[in-house]
Amino acid sequence: MADDKENKKIGLKTTLDMVVEGCRLPVKMSILPNEEEEWPLAEILSRKEEKGKLEFYVHYIDFNKRLDEWVLPDRLRVEELQFPKKDQKTPQKQNSSAANSRPTTPDRELQLSKKLSLPEQSSPAAKLGGQGQTPQSQTKSNAGRKRKAIFLDEDSQDAPATPQPSAPPQQPRQTGSMSSSHDENIITRIKNMETIELGKYRIKPWYFSPYPPELTTISIVYICEFCLKYVKSRKCLERHRTKCTLRHPPGNEIYRKSTISFFEIDGRKNKMYSQNLCLLAKLFLDHKTLYYDTDPFLFYVMTEYDIKGFHIVGFFSKEKESTEDYNVACILTLPPYQRKGYGKLLIEFSYELSKFEGKTGSPEKPLSDLGLLSYRSYWSQTILEILVNLKPENGERPQITINEICELTSIRKEDVISTLQHLNLINYYKGQYIITLSQESIDTHNRAMAKRKIRIDAKCLHWTPKDWAKRGKW
């Protein structure tokens, strides 16, 4: 019997030795109590053995990367092991956000009726393909555009300083404070932080972020919720708090209503805070790449106030000068504040700034899965709010054009049309495109708006847009 057990152990060890990077096999997912077990197919991304304990880092195929995790061998179904094929690459889930937010037809002005509407107006067609570019021109314009990852000056952090890799040659700057990340290596595919403590919350990160390597070996990284400085122990954080004078983000407070405030932060004037903010955001954003340079960007941080100070809830960034009129480069609501309406509040605030600037705007593409859902919901509610509240004039059906909707909301024309298509409000009738608004759509909209408790009040926004093109240097 003893020999049989020993032989089984040897056999299992031999089998586990065959489980290498690129292999696929069913893995038991972490589940909540009272839920049925799931064994989805997963790919092995890495393996490690510390103090005699063997672990595998797995990515569940067809699941978001935020669910990737380290697992013990007892959660692997090794009898169904699939070896990697030659030149096999992990199938990437196509990010359909850009496609979903850019409609193909129709591209003409629309008029509204609560049931069936009126003839279309003759006006220049909207370019819907890719912000006015053909796929070929987009490919050319994006060629060779790649930005660098942020490596902070660690001398100002409590963690010991380590030599930093030299910066790659300067290349043309891509739009946005974070850009789409297509070139992944095995290091950036693996979460490198176990837990962070931000204020009163302990949060499990979702993705990789290039924090200093020495911080990735400890169980909890402590972050000051006011200046976002990261330290390696609670004692270091307490020592930092005695010296940190901030009780709110640096920069100007441009909005306050009740306990909600927004601060505008210049990436050139507050580099360290801006870089730390990007590092924090990267823990929860997979589709973006960080940069060294925060000078060309503004950051708008939303906070919630109590007697201890202004606590960060989320933020969005935007370019000081955007060639494609993006009003958001990167947007994030921190996990403890998600599903509370703060995401829509951030989006609404970004469009309120666009109204003050007197132009339409759109978020930088591609959007994350959660970002696309939030924007779709905001666009739908905002446009339906206008359509539902239209009043008939002289007994005739109410009328409105796409351009008028854009002027009222500051939402870009392409996004307005794509939203109407998404809601199935556009119909083709007697040779023309019209909008039909059913009672069911109105009832659904009213229920959604009843749940939306927090709104931006334009009267509480004290802000003057700057013409950065005339300021010479940022």
CA dihedral 285, 288, 293, 298 (to 10 degrees): -60
Nearest to 231 by CA among 163, 156, 314: 156
For the question of residue 364 being annotated catalytic, the response is: yes
Q: Please enumerate in sequence order all residues whose Cβ is within 8 A of that of 43, keeping only pairs 6 or more positions apart, or say none.
A: 22, 23, 24, 58, 59, 61, 90
Helix, strand, coil percent content, the chain, rounded in steps of 5: 30, 20, 50
CA dihedral 297, 298, 304, 305 (to 10 degrees): 130
Of 69, 109, 154, 364, the catalytic one is 364
For the residues of 300-363, what is the DSSP string, one character each? EEEEEEETTEEEEEEEEEEESS-TT-EEESEEEE-GGGTTTTHHHHHHHHHHHHHHHHTS-BEE
Residue found by looking up tokens 């909600």 in the block: 260
Q: How many CB atoms lie within 10 A of CB 453?
A: 7
Q: Positive or negative CA dihedral for 446, 387, 391, 461?
A: positive
Catalytic residue positions? 364
